[in-house]
A and B are shown apart, each in its own frame.
Chain A
Amino acid sequence: MPTTVSTATGQAESMVLNMGPQHPSTHGVLRVVLELDGENVVKARPDIGYLHTGIEKSCEAKTYSQAITLTDRIDYLAPLSNNLCYCLAVEKLLNLTVPKRAQYVRVLLTELTRIGSHLVWLGTHAIDLGAMSVFLYCFREREEIMKIFEMVSGQRMMTSYFRIGGLALEPPVGWLERVAKFVEAFPSHLAEYEDLLTENRIWQGRTKGVGYLKPEDAIAMGVSGPPLRAAGVAYDVRKFFPYSSYDEFAFDVPTRTESDCYARYLVRMAEMGESLKIVRQAMSKIPAEGPIRTDAPGIIPPQREKMKTEMEALIYHFKIFTEGFSPPPGEVYQNVESPRGELGFFVASDGSPKPMRVKVRAPSFVNLQALPMLVTGRLVADVVACIGTLDIVLGEIDR
């Protein structure tokens, strides 16, 4: 246990170190106020708000459809997960059923998002602990995923590809081949990262036994996602509250019981493999033909052909894009399993075309509060490892 140093005046003294907001490994603009005794952390207090963008509030000034573009920017490493969650919430409010084809495409793309997000996590976590090459390898792989997103939606990061009631566009010809190419190549790359890190003595030394989180504490604090599963709690929204036809897919929820940084690392590595399994299944499930949007006049923009021949369609189109649609008054909460944990959207409607309130349950925000518990009594170098394995995204924390 750390003891405080007695100075000449007899007073106990510790050094306060501001880690961040400008710091290479706080993954954005997190500020952690560390009280140090030598290199031992006596107290850690995360200070957030440096990236506050007011996304939740901005949503109230947009129509339901317009707000989708804002959700991309919440968790900028997993934009499609945010899109999905928000769309599912509004669809719940409107009581819409999305065609199966769109659902499978959504599953495929969100699982690719998960892999991409985990790759960024692995890369940044590795570079935090000094393994520089892994960082670049991970970004090389992520680039392939980005290219798939660009092919499908025209955007690499802020895709906004999921729309209320389905997808924005018909996926382009040949996109599944591209996904197949990625799926083909990825397992060997994953094995490469495992080679570099999993059995590496230095890596194990840096992560094993570091940042222990008791399962009870994790549950009490609402920690979700890989940190919770690494503590031995097999909670995954995809299994407990299946959405978007996840119940039709066979996949495992990897768990560990050690609940340290190494366990969280292993869980995420295993999750990438599971996501790949889901992507494979989705590829075979997606029908070649079929609607990508549900048919709901007045809510979903009509097809272009109909607009040119039918009066109602033209009117609906005009109304949707000038004033939006008005869901019935009410409140919904929809949760999905984002790469970081349980992502939830609470959407309240007062019957107007704009949401009355949008509240995001951001997994990073909730997981971050476990940080003091993980790092107290440990070394400064462990703080970096712990922040890394919590896998926080500041855009999501501050919203």
Chain B
Amino acid sequence: MNGLFAQNAYLLISLLKVAVVVLVLLTGIAYLTWFERKVVAHMQSRWGPERVGPYGLMQPLADGVKFLFKEDPTPAGADRFVYFLAPFLSLSLALCTIALIPFGPGEISIFGRSTSLSIAEINISLLIVFAFTSLSVYGVALAGWASNSKYPLLGSLRSSAQMLSYELGLTMSVVGIVLLSGTFSLRTIVLAQQGTVLGVLPRWNVFSPIMPQVIGFLCFFIAALAETNRVPFDLPEAETELVAGFHTEYASFKFAMFFMAEYAAMVTVSAVASVLFFGGWLSPFPENPAFHFTYYLPAALAAVGGVLLIVNGLRYRSKVGRVVVPVLGLILLLLAATCALPGVNPVIQGPFWLLSKIFFFLFVYVWIRGTLPRFRYDQLMAFGWKVLLPVSLANVVVTSLLILLREKR
């Protein structure tokens, strides 16, 4: 038995990591919908989900159950195989990217074997990320085509054109990063961002002393918005023009898969943005003993959250809420205590900072949704080709020039 374990340890550990990441990601996506609805609601002076469970916390579950039990009709004349394939393609490709994200530094040991904090360690992981994002257009394009309906067709035409043209801007905007760090490996890119600039700013790529990649980041973020079909680039599913765009004919869980794919793409793109431009798992505080207290930040945050939940939960208006919310608070307090343990504390720093950065970008996504109107198709294309691409190209040129000048000196 022991020999069998030893032989397959790598496989088992990988499976374990995949299971943990997928579980966290899918739960995260489910609660991202809740988060988005809550945040947008509060921006629009309403309450958002409030009825299903305390603070509407069971809403994602209710939505999931609803999607599962809905009737799932296939439109007449649809290409059945492709119609089926499209949502699977969308979701699986969107989920795949997360495998390449490094969550923390160093190694942890599981069952006596050390393993890195990411699912896959590949030295060209950045290229693979872009390969996956490029492929995701297939899900959308095929869905629109296979539905045998006019609105989805228009939606998928739009999105194919949109995603292809923004793919270019997206890729060009990170070339500066590749030049600065001289690698395609996400882990090495993060490692290259250690240290500080002028002693205060973290030496992340956006603040890079050679050529701050601010423009690169802006281009990346705009292109990422377009790539994930979010406001103001949500043309493929422009609800008020094309009904629901490429997924008009989809119902039930197939629709849910598109929905989840969109949110998964948001998460992964945010993760990639934080890894490339904002130092991934690196803490924004300098690595010196004076700042060691920041190691207790996750614990402190969880503790404050737990106390708030308990205090508010005891006054919650429904009986169930008065039980559930304080229990959640207690769990958070327990989590805080665990995070403060000397053995756990250093390990969770990486994931904590990465997740915080991802969370920040997700908030920006939602914020933009609450603020901006939508582009028109031709304006979007013009923006992509006439503004985004030249600007990111210029960024590449300037960055390489500066690197060259520095090397000559």
Shortest Cβ distance from residue B9 to the other chain A in the assembled complex, whole angstroms: 51
CB contact list, A70-113 vs B, under 8 A? none
- Chain B nearest CB: distance from A146 CB in Å? 16
Q: Which residues of B contact A379 (CB under 8 A)?
A: 376-378
- Nearest Cβ distance between residue A212 and chain B, in whole angstroms? 16
Residues of B within 8 A of A383 (CB): 241
Q: Which residues of A contact B376 (CB under 8 A)?
A: 205-206, 379, 381-382
A131-B372 contact in complex given A25-B240, A136-B45, A202-B232, C-beta closer than 8 Å: yes
- Complexed CA–CA distance, A196 and B232 (Å): 14
Once A202-B375, A205-B376, A381-B376 are accepted as A-B contacts, the answer to whether A132 and B238 lie under 8 Å apart by CB is no
**Nearest Cβ on chain B to A179's Cβ, whole angstroms:** 22
B243-A23 in contact (CB<8A): yes
Among A122-130, A222-230, A287-295, the stretch in contact with B: A122-130
Measured CA separation A15–B151 after assembly (Å)? 11
Q: Contact: B371 with A39, CB < 8 Å?
A: no
Of residues 233 through 281 on chain B, the ones whose CB sits less than 8 Å from some CB of chain A are 234-235, 238-243
Contact A39/B44 with A129-B374, A379-B377, A381-B376 known, Cβ cut-off 8 Å: no
Question: Are B373 and A200 in contact (CB-based, < 8 A)?
Answer: yes
- Per-residue CB proximity of B366-409 to A under 8 Å, as 1/0? 00011111111111000000000000000000000000000000
**Contact at A136–B154, with CB atoms within 8 Å?**
no
Known: A136-B46, A205-B379. A381 touches B238 (CB 8 A): yes
Partner of A380 from the list B43, B46, B241, B369 (CB cut-off 8 Å) is B241
The interface residues of chain B lying within 8 Å CB-to-CB of A137 are 44-45
> CB of B150 within 8 A of chain A?
yes
Q: Which residue of B lies closest to A23 (CB)?
A: B243
Interface presence of A203 (CB below 8 A):
yes
Q: Assuming the A-B contacts A39-B154, A132-B44, are A381 and B241 also in contact, with contact meaning beta carbons closer than 8 angstroms in the complex?
A: yes
Q: Least Cβ distance of B63 to chain A in Å?
A: 19
Minimal beta-carbon separation of A388 from chain B (angstroms)? 9
Judge if A12 is at the interface, Cβ distance under 8 Å: no
Q: Which residue of B lies closest to A25 (CB)?
A: B240
Query: Would you call B44 and A205 a contact (CB within 8 A)?
Result: no
Inside 8 A of B94's CB, which chain A residues have their CB? Answer: none
Tell me which residues across on chain B come within 8 A of A133, comparing CB atoms. 40, 43-44, 370-371
Which residues of chain B (109-168) have a CB below 8 Å from chain A? 150-151, 154, 157-158
Q: Answer whether residue B206 sits at the interface, using C-beta atoms and an 8 A cutoff.
A: no
User: Of A15, A140, A380, which is in contact with the most chain B CB atoms at under 10 Å from its CB?
Assistant: A380
Chain A, residue nearest B378 (CB): A379
Q: Residue A17 at the B interface, CB < 8 A?
A: yes
Question: How far apart sit A381 and B374, CA to CA, in the bound complex (Å)?
Answer: 10
Query: Chain A residues with Cβ under 8 A from B240's Cβ?
Result: 24-25, 127-130, 384
- Contacting pair B374 A206 (CB below 8 A): yes
* Cα separation A145 to B243 with both chains bound (whole Å): 31
Contacts of B40 in A (CB 8 A): 132-133
A197 within 8 A of B: yes
Instruction: Assess whether A24 is in contact with B239, with CB atoms less than 8 Å apart.
Output: yes
Selected contact of A202 from candidates B45, B235, B373, CB within 8 Å: B373
Bound-complex Cα distance A381 to B377 (A): 8
Cβ distance A28 to chain B, nearest Cβ, rounded Å: 14
CB of B372 within 8 A of CB of A202, answer yes
Q: Which of B332-347 contact A (CB under 8 A)?
A: none
**What residue in chain B is nearest A126 (Cβ atoms)?**
B373
CB atoms of A130 and B44 under 8 A apart: no
CB distance from A262 to the nearest CB of B (A): 12
Known: A23-B243, A25-B241. A39 touches B45 (CB 8 A): no
State whether the Cβ of B231 lies closer than 8 Å to any Cβ in chain A: yes
Chain A stretch 337-384: residues in CB contact (< 8 A) with chain B: 379-384
Q: Mark B23-65, 1 if CB is under 8 A from A, else 0.
A: 0000000000000000010011110000000000000000000
Please tell me if the beta carbons of A140 and B241 are within 8 angstroms of each other in the complex. no
> A residues within 8 A CB of B375?
202, 205-206
A25-B241, A136-B45 known; A130+B377 contact, CB < 8 A: no
Assuming the contacts A380-B241, A381-B241, A384-B241, asked whether A203 and B373 have C-beta atoms less than 8 A apart, the reply is yes
What 1/0 mask marks residues of chain A from 175 to 206 whose CB sits below 8 Å from any chain B CB?
00000000000000000000011001011011
- Asked if B373 and A39 make an inter-chain contact with CB atoms under 8 angstroms apart, the answer reads no
B243 and A130: CB pair below 8 A? Answer: no
**Least distance between A103 CB and chain B CB atoms (Å):** 36
Taking A130-B234, A130-B373, A381-B235 as given, write out 12 further A-B residue pairs in contact, using a Cβ cutoff of 8 Å, ordered by the A residue number.
A17-B154, A39-B157, A128-B240, A130-B231, A131-B373, A132-B40, A132-B369, A133-B371, A380-B242, A381-B241, A383-B241, A384-B240
Which B residues are closer than 8 A to A by beta carbons? 40, 43-46, 150-151, 154, 157-158, 231-232, 234-235, 238-243, 369-379
A-B pairs with lowest CB-CB distance, top 5: A130-B374, A131-B373, A25-B240, A136-B44, A130-B373
Instruction: Give 7 A-B contacts (CB < 8 Å), ordered by A residue.
Output: A130-B372, A131-B373, A132-B231, A136-B46, A137-B44, A380-B241, A384-B241
